Amino acid sequence: MKSLLRSYGRGLTALFVVAVLAWALVLILLPQLTMLERALVSPKRSLDSSLALTLRRDAATCINVLQGYLDPAPEAAPQTLAVPSPGGMAVPSMGGMAVPSMGGATATGALRPYILQCDRADTHKRLVSDPERTLYLDEVFSLPRLAVRETDPIPKQIETAAQLQTIGADLYTRLLAEEATRSPYTLANFGTLLAPRLIPIPEDRRAAEAASIENRLYTLVGARYQADGQIYERIGLTILLRTLAFAVAVTVLALFVCYPIAYRVALASRPEQVVWLMLGLIIPYAIVELMRIYAWTTIIDNQGVINSILIWLGAITEPIPFNRYPATVFAVIAYTYVLFMVFPMLNVMSTLDRNQIEAARDLGARTWRVHTRIVIPHAKPGIAVGCIATFMLAAGAFSVPRIISRGLQSEWFSQTIYNKFFESENSNAGAAYSLAYTFICFGIVAAFMYATRTRLKDFAQVNR
C-alpha cells in the first residue's frame, strides 16, 4: 500500500482501491452470495403455501368457468377452457399428465366438458416439498378430503369449489405465516443432485447396458442401482462425474499435445521459425470461438467434410454419426482450449537456459531423461497453470457440447445448470448445482496443486 501511494499518489491510489473493492464486491462477492442464498432456499413453488395458493386459485377459476354452464347457453362455455390458472401452470401435476382433453366433452355422462382447474381443485394433492416421501395436502394439514366431481350437478360443483377456495385461502394465510417464522434454508436443492430417476430399460437390454464400462463405474460409486426390478440412476451425479472425467481427459490430451509444441517453440527452434509457429498458434484464436466451433460442425456433420470424403472414397456407405460420439466433443474442446495450455508452458519453458539441456545431454542423458529431469521440473509451474486453466475451461464448456452434440448425446454439467436455470425454471436447483460444481472444481484444482506441489507463487512466475 505504501509503495502504491509512493508510485501513484493519493488520488490514483484511492481510485485503484475503490476499483478493486468494487470489482471484488460486484463481480465476485455479491453474485456468489446471491447464488448461495438461492441455492439454500427452496423454490417458491415447492412450498406448501404455494400449493394452498394454487388450490385457492384453481377453485376460483373453476367457479368462474362453471358459472357459464349454469346459463342456458352452454355453447359459449368451451371458450373458457383455455383460461390458464395463473399459478397453476408451473405446477407439474403429480398424478399423471394433466393435459386438457379438448374434445371429449360429455362422454362420461358429465354435465360439462373437462375443465383442468376443476380437476385440480382437490385437497388430496401431493406435496412437492419432500420428493422422497409421498405426502398429501389433506392428510398433512388435516383438511377434509374434498374435490370437485364431474358427475355432480353443476350447482353442487360450484358449492364444493367455493368451499375449496375458502379452505385454500385459509391454509395459504396460515402456511405463509408459518413459513415466515420458519428458517427458509434447506439443503434440498443440493439433494436433487443425488435424486435417483427411474431409467426405463427393457429387460432384454439390461445386461448389455449394465456391461458398459461407464455404467459399471456408475454402479461402483452408487450412482446407478437396481431396486424393485427397475434401474435407477442419479442423473445429476452421473452427468457431473462424466463431465469431470471428460474435463480431466481433455486436460490430459491437451497436455500431451501441447508439451511438444511448447518445447519446440520455446527451446528447439531458431527465432525465425518461432515466428511462424507462433502465428500458427495464434491465428486460429483470432477467430471468434463460436465460429471455430461451427467450423468443426462442417467437418464432422453427416454431410460434412470427413463423411463426404470417406463416402467419395467408398470407404463407407452410411455417414459416421460423429455428433453422437463423446470423443468428438472431447476433441473439439481440446482444440478450443489448447492455447490456454500452450502459453503458460511456453512462457516458463522459454526461461530455461538451453545450456542446461546441452549439459544434461553432454553428461550422457538421453532425450527422455533430459525431459523428465530438466525440462519438466523447470516447466512445472507452467504445466500446472496450463492444466488448471484448461481443466476449468473444459469443465465449464458450454458452447462446444451444445453445438457439437446438439442433444444427440448426454449433456455436460454446464448444460444441466443452464437447463435448470432457463429450461426447467428451477433457478434454486440451478444455483445449488453451479455452487456445488464450483466447489468441486475448486477442490479438484486444490488437490492437483497439492499433488504437484504447486504453490500460489508459482503462478506469478509463469509470466516472469
DSSP code of residue 29:
I
Least CB distance from residue 462 to another protein, whole Å?
A: 16
Nearer to another protein among residue 228 and residue 362 (C-beta): 362
Question: Contact region for another protein (CB under 8 A) — 26-34, 76-84, 193-201, 374-382?
Answer: 374-382
Query: Residue 28: which residues within 8 A CB-CB, separation 6 or more?
Result: none
Nearer to another protein among residue 234 and residue 378 (C-beta): 378
Q: Which of 112, 41, 142, 132 is nearest to 426 (CA)?
A: 41
Least CB distance from residue 254 to another protein, whole Å?
A: 24
Least CB distance from residue 358 to another protein, whole Å?
A: 6
Distance (Å, whole) CA 342 – CA 274: 14
Least CB distance from residue 455 to another protein, whole Å?
A: 14
| Location of C-alpha cell 435417483 | 196
Distance (Å, whole) CA 59 – CA 168: 8
Instruction: Find residue 85's DSSP bridge partners.
Output: none
Q: What is the dihedral of CA 153, 159, 165, 167, to 10 degrees?
A: -110
Within 13 Å, how many C-alpha atoms sit on residue 261's CB side? 22
Write out the binding residues for another protein, residues 354-373 only, by CB under 8 A: 355-356, 358-366, 369, 373
Distance (Å, whole) CA 373 – CA 115: 77
Query: Residue 101: which residues within 8 A CB-CB, separation 6 or more?
Result: 114
Counting contacts by CB under 8 A, is residue 274 touching another protein? no
C-alpha cell at 219: 454402479
Nearer to another protein among residue 156 and residue 369 (C-beta): 369
Counting contacts by CB under 8 A, is residue 11 touching another protein? no
Nearer to another protein among residue 381 and residue 386 (C-beta): 381
| Location of C-alpha cell 385440480 | 120
Write out the binding residues for another protein, residues 334-353 only, by CB under 8 A: 353
Write out the binding residues for another protein, residues 202-261 only, by CB under 8 A: none
Nearer to another protein among residue 3 and residue 355 (C-beta): 355
| Number of helices followed by number of strands (H, E) in the chain | 21, 3
Q: Which residues of 190-216 are buried (b: 16+ CB within 10 A; e: fewer)?
A: bebbeebeeeeeeeeeeeeeeeeeebe
Least CB distance from residue 458 to another protein, whole Å?
A: 13
Distance (Å, whole) CA 377 – CA 348: 11
Write out the binding residues for another protein, residues 420-449 only, by CB under 8 A: none
Nearer to another protein among residue 303 and residue 355 (C-beta): 355
Q: Which of 45, 125, 224, 378: binder of another protein (CB under 8 A)?
A: 378
Counting contacts by CB under 8 A, is residue 377 touching another protein? yes
Distance (Å, whole) CA 60 – CA 172: 14
What string marks each residue from 127 to 146 as x (binds another protein by CB under 8 A) or -? --------------------
Nearer to another protein among residue 366 and residue 457 (C-beta): 366
Distance (Å, whole) CA 93 – CA 70: 28
Least CB distance from residue 369 to another protein, whole Å?
A: 6
| Location of C-alpha cell 399428465 | 97
Nearer to another protein among residue 356 and residue 438 (C-beta): 356
Nearer to another protein among residue 106 and residue 351 (C-beta): 351
Please tell me the count of residues contacting another protein according to CB under 8 A: 17
* Residue ranges in contact with another protein by CB under 8 A: 353, 355-356, 358-366, 369, 373-374, 377-378
